[in-house]
Amino acid sequence: MEKSRGIYDLSREDIANALAGEPKYRQDQIWHSIYSTSLGIEGASTLPKALRLKLSEDPQFKTQLEEIERRQTDRGRTIKFLYAARDGSKIESVLMHYKSRSTLCVSSQAGCAMKCVFCATGQMGFKRHLSAGEIVEQVMAAKIECQNTFKDSISSSKTGRLSNIVFMGMGEPLANYDKLIKAIDKINNSVGIGIRHITVSTVGIVPGIIKLADEEVGVKLAISLHGADDKTRSHLVPISRRYGLDSLIEACHYYISKTKRRISFEWAMMSGINDSIDQAEKLANIAFSLGAHVNLIPLNPTPGYLVVGSSRDRIEDFANYLESNGVATTIRNTRGNDIAAACGQLAATNLEVGKTKVELAKK
């Protein structure tokens, strides 16, 4: 791993080591060029040319992801990026521009081991953890993209600035805990995104939730619940056989009491699976006792799971039930469905356009 370290993996100390013999202020010049101007080593014009050349040939000062494809929709307001890492692993991130914010959905792993039945990444299986640098690089690439796209509209200070990060791309962030924490630290302290504007979404890895609370990381926490009893949930989210609902709810109470922050539950609406009033009632009890917000996600179709999403009427009835039982509920506005960029659709599809590994395997 050390051998394939890239520029966004480097700490100030790593840079100091690589610069042995150079004056100390060079470290700041490099750091500034990487994070404040986003120009990397090649753009570090304050460095002597020979040093700049030497460093730019050093693999640890190079980027690690190559953009191999991008797709846009919603009149350019949703962009999906497909990257290849140095070992050929493919990952995706999705940039969404809204009126007063831009949000990036980042990947924490190539593939995912959690096997949630309705999720395209779960269907493709696990390849490997991403390094902190590979996570941060997705953020920096999006920051640069925002700067370039909106460079002419500086009048509105909020427009186009990358403001929010959600760990809702490929992978289970709490299964890659140490790299996640390193990446969050950089995204917050070096890239400059407020900690409260960073959301970690988890399938419900109980020890990870407890650690996040104990270490006072300060991010927003979203839990992918999808089922309000063990039977329903373990069918959809197999890891809940290890971390059952009672222990998950207990961990949520702990997180809230430690952090004094509200959590949210995500719930993909699946016809005949988890959209009954019985499920709504159980969910309302859980969410109410935690003061949690519920985010209902219209199910996005994936090739490996043939259940259909709930109808709009059904989703609204479900939302109304929750609301009338005191639970703040939103219905997520799905972005990027037509470019396979919506929630749970990320599965590194390219080359054979629109086909995922699962479909290819069926051929």
Catalytic residues: 92, 343
Query: Tokens for 86?
Result: 């140095």
Site size for ligand SAH (CB under 6 A): 17
The site map against ligand SAH for 149-188 (x = CB under 6 A) is -------------------x---x----------------
Closest approach, Cβ 302 to ligand SAH, in A, equals 5
Query: Closer CB to ligand SAH, residue 104 or residue 299?
Result: 299
Task: Give the long-range contacts of residues 24-31, CB within 8 A, separation 24 or more.
Answer: 26/51, 30/55, 31/190
Among 119, 146, 341, 347, binds ligand SAH (CB under 6 A): 119
The site map against ligand SAH for 77-116 (x = CB under 6 A) is ---------------------------------------x
202 binds ligand SAH (CB under 6 A): yes
Pairing of strands 263-269, 220-224: parallel
Query: Closer CB to ligand SAH, residue 15 or residue 187?
Result: 187
Query: Closer CB to ligand SAH, residue 117 or residue 328?
Result: 117
Q: Hey, which residues between 315 and 354 contact ligand SAH (CB under 6 A)?
A: 343-344
34 binds ligand SAH (CB under 6 A): no
Using the rule CB under 6 A, give the single segment among 38-46, 281-289, 299-307, 355-363 that binds ligand SAH.
299-307
184/6 Cα distance (integer angstroms): 17
Residues that bind ligand SAH (CB under 6 A): 116, 118-119, 168, 172, 201-203, 224, 266, 268, 297, 299-300, 302, 343-344
